[in-house]
Structure 1
Amino acid sequence: MISSLPLKTLQNREFRNLLTGRFFIVLAFRMLATLLGWWVYQLTKDPFSIGLIGLSEVIPAVSCALYAGHVIDMNEKKKLLLICNYAYVFLISLLLIPAFLNVELHFSGHEITYFIYAVIFLTGIARAFIGPIVPSMIPKIVDKVNLPNAITLNQAIFLVSSVCGHAAGGFLIEFYGIKWTLVAVIVFMILASVFFWKLQPQFSEHKKEEIKVMESIKEGVSYIFKTKEILGALCLDMFAVLFGGAVAMIPVFATDILKSGANGLGLLNAASDIGSMIIITTLSLVPLRKNQGKILLAVVAGFGLCIIGFGLSEYYWLSFMFLVLSGMLDGISVVIRGTIVQLKTPDHIRGRVLSANSIFIMSSNEMGQFESGLAAKLFGVVRSVVLGGSMTVLIAAIVGISNSKLRKMQY
Structure 2
Amino acid sequence: MNQDLPALFKQSNFRHYWIGQIASSFAFQMLSVGIGWQMYDLTDSPLALGLVGLCQFLPQLLLTLVVGHVADRYNRRLICVFTRLTMAFTVAILVYGNFTNTVSANMIYACAMLLGTARAFELPANQAILPNLVPSEQLSRAVSAMASAREISVIAGPALGGVIYLLGPTTLFATSMSCFLISCVILSFLRYNFTVKHKTPASLEHLLGGLMFIKGNKVILGSVSLDMFAVLLGGATALLPIVAKDILETGPWGLGLLRCSPALGALLMSIYLARHPLTHSVGKIMFAAVAIFGVATILFGLSDQLILSMFALVLLGASDMISVVIRSTLVQLETPDEMRGRVSAANSIFIGSSNQLGEFESGVTAAWFGVVPAIIVGGVGTLAVVGIWMYLFPTLVQRNTLEEEAK
Moved segments of 4+, more than 3 Å: none
In structure 2, give the amino acid aligned to 1:284.
A
- Are residue 193 (structure 1) and residue 192 (structure 2) matched? no
Match of 2:73 in 1: 74
- Looking at structure 2, the residues matched to 298 and 332 of structure 1 have their Cα atoms a distance apart, in angstroms, of 10
- Looking at structure 1, the residues matched to 157 and 204 of structure 2 have their Cα atoms a distance apart, in angstroms, of 38
SS in 2 for 1:95: helix
In structure 1, give the amino acid aligned to 2:128.
S
The structure 2 residue matched to 1:160, chosen from 152, 156, 159, is 152
Q: Deviations over 1:274-324 (max 9, x none)?
A: 001001101111121100000100110110011011001111101110111
Match of 2:100 in 1: 101
Q: Deviations over 1:330-356 (max 9, x none)?
A: 111111111111111111101110110
Task: Give the superposition deviation at 1:62.
Answer: 1.5
- Looking at structure 2, the residues matched to 244 and 202 of structure 1 have their Cα atoms a distance apart, in angstroms, of 40
Match of 1:341 in 2: 331
- Looking at structure 2, the residues matched to 13 and 360 of structure 1 have their Cα atoms a distance apart, in angstroms, of 31
> Runs of 5+ in structure 2 lacking a partner?
402-407
- Looking at structure 2, the residues matched to 156 and 227 of structure 1 have their Cα atoms a distance apart, in angstroms, of 28
1:37-76 matches, cutoff 5 A: 37-76=36-75
Match of 1:281 in 2: 271
In the superposition, the TM-score normalised over structure 1's length comes to 0.95
- Looking at structure 2, the residues matched to 159 and 366 of structure 1 have their Cα atoms a distance apart, in angstroms, of 18
1:110-125 matches, cutoff 5 A: 112-125=104-117
The answer to whether the Cα contact below 8 Å between 2:140 and 2:277 also exists between their aligned partners in 1 is no
Match of 2:223 in 1: 233
- Looking at structure 1, the residues matched to 154 and 324 of structure 2 have their Cα atoms a distance apart, in angstroms, of 14
Identity %: 36
Task: Give the superposition deviation at 1:118.
Answer: 0.9
> Runs of 5+ in structure 1 lacking a partner?
none
Task: Give the superposition deviation at 1:376.
Answer: 0.3
Q: Deviations over 1:91-130 (max 9, x none)?
A: 211112221111xxxx4xxx70011101211221111111
Higher helix share: 1
Task: Give the superposition deviation at 1:170.
Answer: 1.1
Match of 1:144 in 2: 136
Task: Give the superposition deviation at 1:183.
Answer: 0.4
The answer to whether the Cα contact below 8 Å between 2:294 and 2:380 also exists between their aligned partners in 1 is yes
- Looking at structure 2, the residues matched to 282 and 79 of structure 1 have their Cα atoms a distance apart, in angstroms, of 32
1:250-269 matches, cutoff 5 A: 250-269=240-259
1:3-402 matches, cutoff 5 A: 3-102=2-101, 107=102, 112-174=104-166, 176-206=167-197, 208=199, 210-402=200-392
The answer to whether the Cα contact below 8 Å between 1:73 and 1:206 also exists between their aligned partners in 2 is no
SS in 1 for 2:208: helix
Task: Give the superposition deviation at 1:410.
Answer: 2.3
Task: Give the superposition deviation at 1:205.
Answer: 2.1
SS in 1 for 2:72: helix
- Looking at structure 2, the residues matched to 195 and 213 of structure 1 have their Cα atoms a distance apart, in angstroms, of 35
Task: Give the superposition deviation at 1:207.
Answer: 5.3
- Looking at structure 1, the residues matched to 203 and 183 of structure 2 have their Cα atoms a distance apart, in angstroms, of 31
Match of 2:404 in 1: none
The answer to whether the Cα contact below 8 Å between 2:69 and 2:202 also exists between their aligned partners in 1 is no
Q: Deviations over 1:45-67 (max 9, x none)?
A: 11111101001111112111221
- Looking at structure 1, the residues matched to 193 and 400 of structure 2 have their Cα atoms a distance apart, in angstroms, of 31
SS in 1 for 2:63: helix
In structure 1, give the amino acid aligned to 2:25.
V
In structure 2, give the amino acid aligned to 1:343.
L
- Looking at structure 2, the residues matched to 125 and 316 of structure 1 have their Cα atoms a distance apart, in angstroms, of 35
- Looking at structure 1, the residues matched to 120 and 89 of structure 2 have their Cα atoms a distance apart, in angstroms, of 16
In structure 1, give the amino acid aligned to 2:239.
M
SS in 1 for 2:249: coil
- Looking at structure 1, the residues matched to 366 and 126 of structure 2 have their Cα atoms a distance apart, in angstroms, of 34
1:395-410 matches, cutoff 5 A: 395-410=385-400
- Looking at structure 2, the residues matched to 352 and 368 of structure 1 have their Cα atoms a distance apart, in angstroms, of 23
The answer to whether the Cα contact below 8 Å between 1:91 and 1:123 also exists between their aligned partners in 2 is yes
The answer to whether the Cα contact below 8 Å between 1:245 and 1:388 also exists between their aligned partners in 2 is yes
Task: Give the superposition deviation at 1:272.
Answer: 0.6
The answer to whether the Cα contact below 8 Å between 2:226 and 2:389 also exists between their aligned partners in 1 is yes
In structure 2, give the amino acid aligned to 1:304.
G
